Structure formats: structure tokens, C-alpha cells
Amino acid sequence: MSPKQQRGEATVELLLDTALRVYAEGGEQALTVNAVTKASGVSLGSLYHHFGSIDGLVDALLMRWLERLLGEMVTALEHSRTARTGVRALTRAYLSFVREHREAGMLLHSSRADRLGMTQAARLRDAQEARLTPMAAWVAHHVEKGEIAPLPVPLIESLVLGPVVGAARRWLTFGDIDLDEAARVLPERIWRSISAEPE
Amino acid sequence: MSPKQQRGEATVELLLDTALRVYAEGGEQALTVNAVTKASGVSLGSLYHHFGSIDGLVDALLMRWLERLLGEMVTALEHSRTARTGVRALTRAYLSFVREHREAGMLLHSSRADRLGMTQAARLRDAQEARLTPMAAWVAHHVEKGEIAPLPVPLIESLVLGPVVGAARRWLTFGDIDLDEAARVLPERIWRSISAEPE
DNA sequence: GTGCTTCTAGAAAATCATTCTATTTCCGCG
DNA sequence: CGCGGAAATAGAATGATTTTCTAGAAGCAC
């Protein structure tokens, strides 16, 4: 199903770009096959040839941006020596991403992201193993080094990502959060929650 | 749009109950007007009379359960003397709720919950002011008492609810979290993150 | 029981997703 | 070249789902 010819590649790109634009302009209900074909000039046949269904298209769009987001998060971790700085870098990477790609961020946080009964996390696990495994490994590694409290990895991940995702979500839909302040304050607060050091 | 007669009330109840059942049995794609009318025996006309659209129906279903969840959370807070015990009670209330109402929990956490471009949080603010305001007030109160760190209320809320929602979500879709352990461990960890005490 | 509103009912219309068949474009290979 | 098959484009036809619309039945106040 992935394109074998260059024109196919171009069509796929065009469709994905157009889909995000349509979503950005008209919101979720606007994201229909018809709207995307009209706005892109691509025919129905091509859309279905490449994506199989409207969900397939949205899916691919989500994947594209999720890949980017996770990539930046993993990079942030890899460039950090200690667990503490890792948390800071991860938080900043995440918040910068949603600030710089508002529409994509909204798509990732909202609604369609859970299509087909999978949550963002589940989707990650299935298709982004290459990105997720390093994060879990990173956590496990720092737990073993005694920096992070000896808790199950999923709980650590909830403690770290939960507040970051929550703050991003809130900024996206409400705007009652100052992203700079969040990037400054959350990391140290999150760190207190997962640190192995006694209270 | 809300029913004025008893039979109307009964129809609304029946539709909401049936909708959750249909969702529980067939997942998101199964939740169609047709499926709900067939399964409930209620006519299309009645459904549209009461809810205006399929989204209106799903919306009302979400509201009904959100109301219950928030109610239990607020109750938990009100029965807690200190901020610390409040966090514990809140966490337990939330996790108990999703355990006891799995399908409703899935509906609240997944997919449809963000319909119409509003996140769960935004939805809260709009329609559940009566429930949300007490929570914000509770936070503000304990900030003033010097128990909780002097941060903006939205950040505190992200730090508290983020991990809880994340863990619940993960349990619902993955099952790789032990809810009892989460209920035991998360509160103290969350507390460390929002406590006003120096590290 | 009259008059008004709410509610029920389901056929008809509109919208949207998908399938299908035909046609064109690309690309490797002789 | 130019032939043959795979990839891609095209859009009409079909199918599924939501929504509108009109008609009438049931409740309620007086």
C-alpha cells in the first residue's frame, strides 16, 4: 500500500498535508474524504488507493506526527546524562513541539487519536516500538542506577508523561497555562515525584 | 430539549443505557443511531427529538458519567481534612470508578470524549462548573494554607490529575498497570510533587 | 373534551464512505 | 524505441449512516 513511484509519494504527501490543513481550518467534522479530495485536487480513487479508508488517512497523519514527537523526545533523553536532566529535556521537547505544531498537537491530543479503539499509548506500542522501547529502557536503566524510585515502568511513565500531557492538552484547548512557566516548573516537580531520594 | 413528561424521561434513560451497552459490546464504530434504535426499540424520531444528533446522544452519555465521576472526586475531597489525604482520596476515587465502571471509563477516556473539538477538561469547564469550581477552590485553599506549593492552579491540577488519568487510561487499554498498586503508590508520589515543603 | 405541547414514528432526503471498473502513467526490459 | 505489467488516477455507482420532515398519538391543563 505504500507508494512505489515518485508521483505516488507526492500524492501521499499532498493528501497528508491537505488533511492537516482541512482539520486545522474546520475541525474534526470537516475532516471528510470529500473535503480532502476537493481541497487537494486528488481523486477519490487515489486517496483510497493509498490509504484504503478515511481512517487509514487519519491514521497515517497521526503516525507521521507521532513519529516526529517521539523522535524529539527520544533525542532529548539521549542527550541527557542524568535522569533529572532527562526529565527536563523530555518535558521541554514535548511542550516545544505542541507550541510549534499547534494543529498537529491538537490532532494528537484530541478525538481522532484514539480511533479504532486504541489509545495513543497503545498505538505507540504497536507501531512505534522503535521509539517506545528506548524510553522504557531509559527509565529501567535509571531505576537500576538508583536515581529513579523502584516502581513499575508504567507508573513512572504515568508520573512523568501525565502532567506533561495534561498541561499540553490544557494549553491547546484552554490556553489557561503559560507554557514557559510549565516548562520551567514541571520538570522539577515531576522529578520530586519519581526521584529515589527519601522525602 | 430536556424531557417534560415522564415517558420522555424514560425514553432518554433507555436510550442512554442502551447506548452504553451498544458501545460496550461493539466498540466505537458500533455506536450508531441505527444500532441504538434497534437495540432499544425507540424510534428514530424520538432519538432525534431528545438529543438532536448522534453526537448529542454521545455527549449526554459522557456528561452523565462525567457527572458521577466528578461527584465522587469532589466528595472525596470534601471528606479530607488535609491536602495530603485529599490527594489520596481523589486518586482512589478515580481509580475505583474506572474499575467499577469499565465501559463508562473507556468511553470517558477514549475517542469520542473529545468530540466537537472539546477536550474532557474543556467539557468539564463548560457544563460541570458546579463540580469543577470546588476542585479549583480546594486547590487554592490549600495553596493559601501553605500546604501546596504556590503554583498556578492549572499546573497543580495537571500534576495531580495527569498521573491518575494516565494510569487509568493505561489500565483500561493495556492492563499493564496494577490498579491497587497505583492507588497505593501514586498518591504519595503525587504529593511529593505538589507539596510546599522543600525537597 | 378541547387545545396545546410533548413525544413517537418511520419514510424520505442528504451526507459521507467505500467499492468498482476503466483509463492513464510510469518503469523495467528486450 | 515500444511492449507489458504494475502503479496510480479518475469518477460513477453503491452502500451505509445521519439528519430532516411530516404525520399522528399521548399526555396535560383547563
What is the full DSSP assignment across chain B?
A: ----SHHHHHHHHHHHHHHHHHHHHHHHHH--HHHHHHHH---HHHHHHHHSSHHHHHHHHHHHHHHHHHHHHHHHHHT-SSHHHHHHHHHHHHHHHHHHTHHHHHHHHSGGGGGGG--HHHHHHHH-HHHHHHHHHHHHHHHHTTSB-S--HHHHHHHHHHHHHHHHHHHHHT--S-HHHHHHHHHHHHHHHHBSS--
What is the full DSSP assignment across A56-100?
A: HHHHHHHHHHHHHHHHHHHHHHHT-SSHHHHHHHHHHHHHHHHHH
Place of cell 469550581: B133
Q: Which of B151, B165, B181 sits opposite A166 (nearest CB)?
A: B165
Tell me whether residues B174 and A121 touch, CB distance under 8 A.
Answer: yes
Residues 49-108, chain A, CB closer than 7 Å to nucleic strand C: 52-55
| pLDDT at residue B7, as a whole number | 84
d(CA B181, CA A155): 9
| pLDDT at residue B113, as a whole number | 52
Q: Which of A159, A195, A199 sits opposite B163 (nearest CB)?
A: A159
Residue range A8-57, pLDDT digits in tens: 799 999 999 999 999 999 988 899 999 999 999 999 999 999 999 999 99
Residues 62-101, chain B, CB closer than 7 Å to nucleic strand C: none
| CATH class, A61-194 region | mainly alpha
Residue range A108-117, pLDDT digits in tens: 886 555 544 4
Q: What band does B99 get if pLDDT is binned at 50, 70 and 90?
A: very high
Domain with CATH 1.10.10.60 in chain A: 1-52
Q: What band does B126 get if pLDDT is binned at 50, 70 and 90?
A: low
| pLDDT at residue B64, as a whole number | 93
For chain A, the distance separating the N- and C-terminal CA atoms, rounded to the nearest angstrom, is 54
Which fold, B1-52? Arc Repressor Mutant, subunit A (1.10.10)
Q: Which residue has the higher pLDDT, B167 or A117?
A: B167
Lowest mean pLDDT among A31-35, A88-92, B174-178: B174-178
| pLDDT at residue A174, as a whole number | 81
Interval A51-67 mean pLDDT: 93
| pLDDT at residue A110, as a whole number | 67
Tell me if chain A has a CB within 8 Å of the CB of B32.
no
- Would you say A86 and A76 are in contact if contact means Cβ atoms under 8 Å apart? yes
Interval A182-193 mean pLDDT: 98
Interval B38-58 mean pLDDT: 97
Name the residue type at position B185: V
Protein residues bordering strand D (Cβ below 7 A): A 3-5, 7-11, 41-46, 48-50; B 5-7, 31-34, 44-45, 48, 52-55
Which residues of B fall within a CB distance of 8 Å from A177?
152, 154-155, 158
| pLDDT at residue B117, as a whole number | 39
Q: Which of A28, A121, A158 sits opposite B163 (nearest CB)?
A: A158
| pLDDT at residue B112, as a whole number | 55
Q: Which of B12, B49, B62, B119 is nearest to A27 (CA)?
A: B119
- What is the phi/psi pair of residue B195, to 5°? -60, 145
Residues 80-99 of A with CB under 8 A from B: none
| pLDDT at residue A7, as a whole number | 86
Domain with CATH 1.10.357.10 in chain B: 61-194
Percentage of chain A beyond pLDDT 70 is 87
d(CA A182, CA A169): 12
Name the residue type at position A112: R
Tell me if chain A has a CB within 8 Å of the CB of B115.
yes
Tell me if chain A has a CB within 8 Å of the CB of B189.
yes
- What is the phi/psi pair of residue B126, to 5°? -70, -55
| HSE-CB of B30 using CA atoms within 13 angstroms | 14
